[in-house]
């Protein structure tokens, strides 16, 4: 009898919704109360300091040392007034999540007393011991030190009585060791490139912002049941588990009523979000049982990403208060949908125009077509890179699994926009060029707004879909740092826009009109990149064949997908935009391969343990009970009758034996494969060996364990089953 499992079930059934102490105030009164936002800056900083800081933030300038000291003083006073006693630089190393090291605001005073201290120097830069963070060999070859440096564009905040200062993290020699540094570089580069092109249409444009609205999917599991599943605790997903008789086939969970325990969790989480200035807005049930989604109002990409990272750590914390564990893994349960994090992405000018939104006038629409076409060209050229940017050991379980985008990057435009672009590409009559002529406008371009406003044309199977005024990059995984995708996408689009501008400028110099030049370049781009458009069913086998014919990247092995970062088109693009140097790209890939290997290695170990120590002993015990039974029945009913009475049992005994034998054999094979792979020095080769030789026996083992789960006495089964894990009461 498995006491662990049944104790967990008993304990889980005691967990009820806890009453939430909502703040007495209205949301606008506590919204952002833990953020050092402009309002707090004005209150706590001397006027000249405030002006200098805002100028530096808005116009991307560096702060003088005096101003930094003055900001630090005000920030410290605000933090202490709000209960903080420590401060930390908060950064995003190349692992999952964030890193922080807390220091108290104290210093020895002159007379042996303790005084509160926080200086500009401490605010601006620190030297965390970088040696334990992944760096892909950069630190070994150069210097052991790493620096964290203040990112003034993302406001400081208080979390758990600690003032958190968003920072970048770089090596002594300036190579990035984090996600934020290249993200800021990519955003800078797309700002300059897109503003250059946007000025063809509005010369007053100074800056273009990149916007991100992520949609975070997640699962909740009762804490007691979670603790009884070593695979969930150690790997974030179930490595075994037979499908529940009921799962998502009735589709009754999507947008269904939210269970009260979950609703209490959500309310608590949203309140925490709002206090930290994260504009959490939408919540709903997802398709799979126990699966939910939270989406905020979109924000500037760097801030939106900080907010997503902050949200992910808040989720873990708040979930525990409600006796839940939150699963951010892309595929915690086999047989039901996994979790993604759709990245809604757009570009907008500082004049308030969204560049992927069709406008009211012909000029607006030419601008719209210009930007859409350049995005298509960038995604086409760098489709393998974009896939690599969302690839990970965990997301691999979700991609191509017929509920998430396939492992091929294509763009869904919808039939109307696709038709418009086709006509632009083929139609070379003068009417197209004559945009000041009402008739010319009506030809097509003028109709775009009316039809696109009705944005019902949806395709769930597309990894990158146009959705009215933005693109939705759907292939991003639920546990990912969005920066990875946003770095690749913004940099690729920046590079494409720079090229486009150079080509258009050359035509202008040769005497062409602006419209002529733009349309000529748009047509030529469309001719080159239209293969990236695919509006059909991305799950079908025909698409896989068709995509290969079109030359789109069809690689399905994650360690090999990472190669895309080092192919010449990527290295050159990242070099031209100044987003990542070749040294950085190489180092990052080392980290990616290493992390891939380690994740699979941990899973393989946990699976081996569970199979050999938990499952097989239980199966053998059950088999012995059956065998005893057979012997006793045959003694009681000698001859034919005894045989008849025991046929079912002897068959089960045989089947159990086959399953346990296969599990044992495959477990040995898996250990051998691991040993062999561990001897490989090259990180890429090692990751490939894990992918090719360790994962296949893992899948076989799981198959046989799941079969045993369906045969062995339920009371003996040691692990909480899917039907217990997946339905919160
Ligand atoms: P759906 O599930 O229909 O895709 P949601 O409301 O769940 O839509 O999420 C849409 C997300 O897209 C939200 O975060 C929203 O703020 C964001 N979004 C809306 N417009 C833009 C835009 N122009 N740029 C970036 N994100 C956007
Ligand atoms: Mg969506």
Cβ distance 399 to 494 under 8 Å? no
298 by DSSP, 3-state: which?
Answer: coil
DSSP letter assigned to residue 692: I
> What CATH class has 596-725?
mainly alpha
What is d(CA 619, CA 642) in angstroms, rounded to the nearest whole number? 24
Atom number in ligand 1 closest to CA 296: 14
Ligand nearest to the CA of 284: 1
Cβ distance 401 to 331 under 8 Å? yes
Q: Residue 255: left (phi > 0), alpha (psi -120 to 50), or beta? A: left
Ligand 2 centroid – CA 542 distance (Å):
25
CB atoms within 10 A of CB 549: 9
The string of DSSP codes covering 644-679 is HHHHHHHHHHHHHHHHHHHHHHHHHHHHHHHHHHHT
Torsion of CA 460, 465, 471, 473, to 10 degrees: 60
Instruction: Please give the span between the terminal C-alpha atoms of the chain, in angstroms, as a whole number.
Output: 25
Residue 400: which of 303, 320, 305, 331 has the closest Cα? 331
What is d(CA 672, CA 504) in angstroms, rounded to the nearest whole number? 59
CB within 8 Å of 565: residues ≥ 6 apart: 385, 388, 585, 588, 589, 592
Torsion of CA 685, 690, 693, 699, to 10 degrees: -160
| 351-355, long-range: CB < 8 A, 24+ apart | 351/202, 351/204, 351/205, 353/198, 353/202, 354/469, 354/470, 355/194, 355/198, 355/208
Mutate which of 291, 297, 344, 375 to test ligand 1's pocket (most atoms within 8 Å of Cβ)? 344
Q: Return the CA Rg of the chain.
A: 29
pLDDT at residue 139, as a whole number: 53
Could you please state the CATH topology (level 3) that the domain comprising 31-178 is classified under. Answer: Ubiquitin-like (UB roll) (3.10.20)
Q: Give start and end residues of each alpha helix (H) in 108-212.
A: 120-124, 138-141, 180-198
Q: Give start and end residues of each alpha helix (H) in 443-581.
A: 448-453, 483-509, 514-529, 541-549, 558-561, 568-577
pLDDT at residue 143, as a whole number: 53
Residue 187: which of 462, 483, 536, 496 has the closest Cα? 483
What is d(CA 374, CA 522) in angstroms, rounded to the nearest whole number? 8
Q: Is 470 in the pocket of ligand 1 (CB under 6 A)?
A: yes
Atom number in ligand 1 closest to CA 293: 7
pLDDT in tens, 225-267: 999 999 999 999 999 999 887 777 666 666 667 788 999 999 9
Torsion of CA 69, 73, 76, 80, to 10 degrees: 170
Could you please state the CATH topology (level 3) that the domain comprising 187-580 is classified under. Answer: Creatine Kinase; Chain A, domain 2 (3.30.590)
CB within 8 Å of 156: residues ≥ 6 apart: 35, 36, 75, 79, 163, 164, 165, 166
Ligand 2 centroid – CA 215 distance (Å):
7
CA-based max dimension of the chain: 105
Reading the block at residue 54, the tokens are 């805002």
Which protein residue's CA is at the shortest distance from atom 1 of ligand 1? 215
Ligand 2 centroid – CA 467 distance (Å):
9
Ligand 2 centroid – CA 497 distance (Å):
26
Q: Is 297 in the pocket of ligand 1 (CB under 6 A)?
A: yes
Ligand nearest to the CA of 470: 1
Q: Is 357 in the pocket of ligand 1 (CB under 6 A)?
A: no
Mutate which of 298, 452, 457 to test ligand 1's pocket (most atoms within 8 Å of Cβ)? 298
Q: Where are the domains of the chain?
A: 31-178, 187-580, 596-725
What is d(CA 250, CA 237) in angstroms, rounded to the nearest whole number? 24
83 by DSSP, 3-state: which?
Answer: coil
Ligand 1 centroid – CA 213 distance (Å):
5
pLDDT at residue 440, as a whole number: 33
Q: Is 18 in the pocket of ligand 1 (CB under 6 A)?
A: no
pLDDT in tens, 123-141: 888 877 666 677 776 655 4
Q: Is 473 in the pocket of ligand 1 (CB under 6 A)?
A: no
Distances from the Cα of 214 to the Cα of 200, 296, 343, 465, angstroms = 30, 7, 5, 14
Q: Which residues of the chain have pLDDT under 50?
A: 1, 141-142, 428-456
Q: Is 298 in the pocket of ligand 1 (CB under 6 A)?
A: yes
Segment (H or E) for 103: strand 103-104
Q: Is 211 in the pocket of ligand 1 (CB under 6 A)?
A: yes
Q: Is 216 in the pocket of ligand 1 (CB under 6 A)?
A: no
Instruction: Using DSSP bridges, classify how beta strands 464-466 and 471-473 pair: parallel, antiparallel or unpaired.
Output: antiparallel
Q: Is 455 in the pocket of ligand 1 (CB under 6 A)?
A: no
Which protein residue's CA is at the shortest distance from atom 2 of ligand 1? 215
pLDDT at residue 654, as a whole number: 97
Ligand nearest to the CA of 214: 1
Q: Is the pTM of this model over 0.85?
A: yes
Residue 579: which of 33, 187, 314, 46 has the closest Cα? 187
701 by DSSP, 3-state: which?
Answer: helix
- Residues at Cβ < 5 Å from ligand 2 ion: 342
Distances from the Cα of 368 to the Cα of 301, 348, 490, 502, angstroms = 20, 11, 17, 19
Ligand nearest to the CA of 293: 1
pLDDT at residue 420, as a whole number: 80
């Amino acid at each position: 009898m498995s006491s662990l499992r049944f104790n967990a079930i008993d304990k889980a059934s005691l967990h009820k919704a806890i009453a939430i102490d909502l703040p007495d105030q209205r949301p606008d009164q506590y919204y952002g109360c833990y953020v050092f936002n402009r309002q707090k800056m004005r209150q706590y900083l001397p006027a000249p300091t405030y002006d200098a800081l805002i100028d530096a933030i808005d116009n991307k300038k560096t702060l003088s040392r005096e101003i930094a000291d003055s900001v630090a003083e005000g920030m410290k006073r605000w933090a202490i007034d709000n209960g903080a006693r420590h401060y930390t630089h908060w950064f995003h190393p190349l692992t999952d999540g964030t890193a922080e090291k807390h220091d108290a605001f104290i210093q020895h005073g002159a007379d042996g007393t303790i005084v509160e201290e926080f200086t500009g120097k401490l605010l601006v830069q620190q030297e965390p011991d970088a040696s334990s963070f992944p760096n892909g060999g950069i630190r070994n070859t150069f210097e052991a030190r790493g620096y964290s440096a203040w990112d003034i564009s993302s406001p400081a905040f208080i979390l758990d009585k600690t003032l958190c200062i968003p920072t970048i993290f770089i090596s002594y020699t300036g190579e990035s060791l984090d996600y934020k540094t290249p993200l800021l570089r990519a955003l800078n580069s797309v700002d300059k490139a897109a503003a250059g092109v946007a000025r063809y249409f509005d010369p007053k444009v100074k800056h273009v912002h990149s916007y991100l609205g992520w949609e975070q999917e997640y699962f909740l599991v009762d804490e007691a049941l979670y603790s009884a599943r070593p695979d969930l605790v150690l790997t974030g997903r179930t490595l075994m588990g037979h499908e529940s008789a009921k799962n998502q086939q009735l589709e009754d969970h999507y947008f269904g009523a939210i269970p009260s325990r979950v609703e209490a969790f959500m309310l608590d989480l949203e309140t925490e979000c709002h206090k930290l200035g994260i504009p959490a807005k939408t919540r709903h049930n997802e398709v799979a049982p126990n699966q939910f989604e939270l989406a905020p109002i979109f924000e500037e990409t760097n801030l939106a990403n900080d907010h997503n990272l902050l949200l992910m750590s808040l989720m873990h914390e708040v979930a525990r208060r409600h006796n839940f564990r939150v699963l951010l893994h892309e595929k915690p349960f086999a047989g039901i949908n996994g979790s993604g994090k759709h990245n809604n992405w757009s570009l907008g000018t500082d004049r308030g125009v969204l560049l992927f939104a069709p406008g009211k006038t012909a000029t607006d629409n030419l601008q719209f077509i210009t930007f859409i076409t350049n995005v298509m060209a960038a995604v086409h050229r760098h489709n393998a890179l974009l896939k690599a940017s969302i690839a990970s050991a965990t997301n691999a379980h979700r991609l191509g699994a017929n509920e998430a985008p396939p492992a091929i990057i294509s763009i869904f435009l919808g039939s109307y926009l696709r038709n418009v672009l086709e006509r632009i590409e083929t139609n070379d009559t003068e009417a197209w060029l004559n945009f000041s002529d009402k008739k010319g406008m009506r030809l097509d371009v003028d109709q775009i707004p009316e039809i696109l406003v009705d944005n019902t044309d949806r395709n769930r199977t597309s990894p990158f879909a146009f959705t009215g005024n933005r693109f939705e990059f759907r292939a991003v995984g639920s546990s990912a740092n969005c920066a990875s995708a946003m770095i690749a996408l913004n940099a690729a689009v920046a590079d494409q826009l720079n090229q486009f501008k150079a080509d258009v400028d050359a035509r202008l110099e040769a005497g062409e009109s602006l419209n002529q030049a733009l349309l000529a370049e748009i047509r030529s781009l469309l001719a080159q990149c239209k293969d990236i458009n695919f509006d059909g069913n991305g799950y079908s086998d025909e698409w896989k064949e068709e995509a290969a014919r079109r030359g789109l990247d069809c690689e399905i092995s994650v360690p090999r997908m990472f190669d895309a970062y080092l192919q010449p088109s990527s290295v050159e693009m990242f070099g031209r935009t100044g987003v990542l140097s070749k040294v950085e790209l190489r180092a990052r890939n080392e980290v990616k391969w290493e992390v891939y290997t380690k994740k699979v290695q941990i899973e393989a170990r946990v699976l081996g343990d569970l199979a050999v120590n938990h499952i097989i002993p239980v199966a053998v015990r059950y088999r012995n009970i059956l065998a005893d039974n057979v012997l006793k029945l045959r003694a009681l009913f000698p001859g034919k009758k005894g045989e008849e009475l025991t046929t079912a049992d002897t068959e089960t005994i045989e089947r159990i034996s086959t399953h346990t034998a296969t599990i044992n054999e495959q477990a040995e094979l898996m250990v051998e494969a691991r040993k062999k792979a561990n001897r490989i020095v090259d990180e890429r080769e090692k990751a490939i060996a894990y992918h090719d030789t360790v994962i296949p026996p893992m899948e076989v083992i799981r198959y046989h364990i799941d079969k045993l789960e369906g045969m062995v006495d339920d009371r003996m089964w040691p692990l909480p089953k899917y039907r217990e894990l997946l339905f919160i009461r």
